Structure 1
Amino acid sequence: MPNSQMTPGIVPGRVAADQLADNFDDLHPAYAPHEAAVAADRCYFCHDAPCITACPTDIDIPLFIRQIQTGTPEAAAKTILSQNILGGMCARVCPTETLCEQVCVREVAEGKPVEIGRLQRHATDTLMAKNSHPFSRAPDTGKSVAVVGAGPAGLACAHRLAMHGHSVTLYDGRAKAGGLNEFGIAAYKTTDDFAAREVDWLMQIGGITLELGARLGEDLSLEELKNINDAVFLGIGLGGVNSLRAAGEERDGVSDAVSFIADLRQATDLAELPVGRNVVVIGGGMTAVDAAVQSKLLGAENVTIAYRRGRDAMSASRYEQDLAASHGVNILFNVQPKEVHGNGAAAEVEFEYTTTDNGKLKGTGETFRIKADQVFKAIGQTLDGVPDGLDQDGGKIAVTGAGQTSIQGVWAGGDCAFGGDDLTVTAVAEGRDAAEDIHSTLMG
């Protein structure tokens, strides 16, 4: 967390250890078997179910819920995992309220959907608790594929390729695999080291060699990977952070929300993690909400999310907004940062009210200030340079079809590829589909 420790107002130990354990407990506790049976019984098992269409990985939701209803959660898990090998994590972090559950017939008719996400977690957790892997590897094809990036897209791609019998080397620049799932999601959404346990479980398919501390452009060359493999998949995510474009953003106490969440997720003792007394998070996505809520749980007294547009434009769902509000986070709409004030360290953030004129955002000239000893930027991430030779679109890797790039034999997916929507479930779908396209190409 750059500069934060040098700021007097940002200190550890604002909350006692036992209270921290309660604060960061599981956001949605797992169903007991009888609770899952009752929840499953609410499903109408629709023909042409809209929930399937709303799922980026096309899971047969009515089928897996019926399998839970009939007392076979392991079969339900296989139905889920055949489409989404990271179904356990997606059950925890997917914005189901804007995807499958939003279109549930029960939601439309009664305002209370079938709790698809929690049912999915029940099924996948039941299977994983047995430490069994429901898929087997096909005979070795003699083909090798390099997968760069061990996040959701890379993991899904690597697993599907290995299942088809290809030899996969999975590279990642960090010391742990998991990508966004390991480093970028609120701790209360994925407790008990679940991201790491899911990676270990996924690797049981065999045929995947994991090499950590290997970063594209530094330790790895795309050209070299192409030369020693039959195909390459890039799932390198987004490593850069957008600038605040406000004066004073270099002051102590100003950092990016992504790094804060990563530090929190990797902390061995949350009581040692420093947090400010007055925290301001600038942005409108789930990263902003995760940073704000966790700041509050760590003991920040006043936490504010400031977003430049109106509520309806905020990419964090209304559920996430309400979650933040329920933890005492104040959300300001139609405000943009003008300057971070302070004598060396942040003390206040000056904002300007905004309005939209013919779809274009502009400032009104009216300003105000908020106390802030800690400021988090959650205004989007960028790709740290498109690898040489690859066409780009919107600052990301340009792809066609199932992730094919402008270089023959190279595919890409997840956040680094143009067209995604920065969701774990979408990244899984893109990695899976690219793997199928790679397999089809390699096998002629």
Structure 2
Amino acid sequence: MMKTWTRRLLPLLLCAGASLAALDRIAVAEIETKGKLDAASVAGLAERIEAKLGGGYEVISRSALKAMLKEAAFQQESGLVADREQLARLAEVHGVKYLLATTIAKIGSKLSMTVMVVDCTTGRLDPDRRIAIEADNLEKLFRQLDGALDRIGLLHLPPTEAGLKQLAVLPVQAAPGIGREDGSAFGAKLNEFLLKSGSFELLNRDALNLVAMESALVDAEQAAPGQYVKVGQIAVGDWLIAVKLKRLEVNRLSSGTAIAGVSTREVATLEAELRIIDVKTGALVAIENVTCRRKTTDIPASIRRDWTPADYRNDLMEQAAEQAGRKLLERLDPVLVAAIEGRQLYLTRGEGAGVRPGQTYEIYTPGKTVLHPKTKKPLGTAEKRVGVARIDSVAANMSIASLQDGAAEAAVGARCRLLDDAPAVSEPASPPAYPMATP
């Protein structure tokens, strides 16, 4: 019996030992402070950082690191990050792969913490593994630490813990001639649409103001691509959206003749530009243009009967914000097929995200990346059309559609793109206007 248990237990112990040996070694340096901070609290924060990393790495504690530095005659203050030769020596002698360097600075009433990862084999600071977070006190900094370590690839949170992708819409920049209040109104409606979609966690107003100030993105049109690199060092989440309101006008048009009668109608137009920035890399990944035009004849007379110019403008803002939000969702969080039952599809988009009964969606699966034959620059992704589905009903977190064609190839995980929209409102039916009989 004992031999049997030994035979069963030995492979498990060997596997456990192999997995433990496979863990990379990471050293946690003493936290560098700038400003008056309580030393005990800072040391406590460093211990908590070590504890967080213990599950995925073999952690070299600060005391052990000090011993290594002393043995290697390595002066921490003279260039812990910059002296690549000594870092390489440290890695060669002690097998340390990464070094976590942290700085906490007190600026006014705020605390700013910068976390950096140094590859000890090269002695270089990885620019993509550097992040800064800000809070009122050390405890609040610690609460943000999980997300910060995850974004620089140290914690590897599972999707259930990592939560929704974070997205920040910078304050809208309005072109000359467009009021600042109009830009704020458009930004508010775009944020409202994205929040209702349930696809993102949106940053609050205070965080947005901090991002706008630190990233120096005053005008998205004039900003050089290099400026976006600054954004990657700010803990704003996963995506940053810079919005430029380029055109907003309401015109009155007339048609007809004096004899036949003259009819007038209002035509409102809004044009906007959306720049999508990947926060982790600081790269500008896409530019989306939005043009929304609304005529009074597009809106049922019973609804617009008592409308003022402000009502038309508000309606235009809502329609344009939905159009802009759909473009962002299609690129960052496309509608997917979640389940299939016969010719009935369940899609991953529900109420509040512009999905309405009557809409038709094209179903497709992405293929290989298409490269430029000479420069090898990615041009896009090949697509295979699977079919077309029509929305039958919309629930809180999903929608139900019926497959119109392509039943054989529809599969879970396929993407959906809006083909034909359904009207948001419709003119209520009214009885025919028959002429009245006279006695």
> Greater strand percent: which structure?
2
Q: Give the TM-score normalised by structure 1.
A: 0.22
> Greater helix percent: which structure?
1
Which structure would you say has the larger Rg?
A: 2
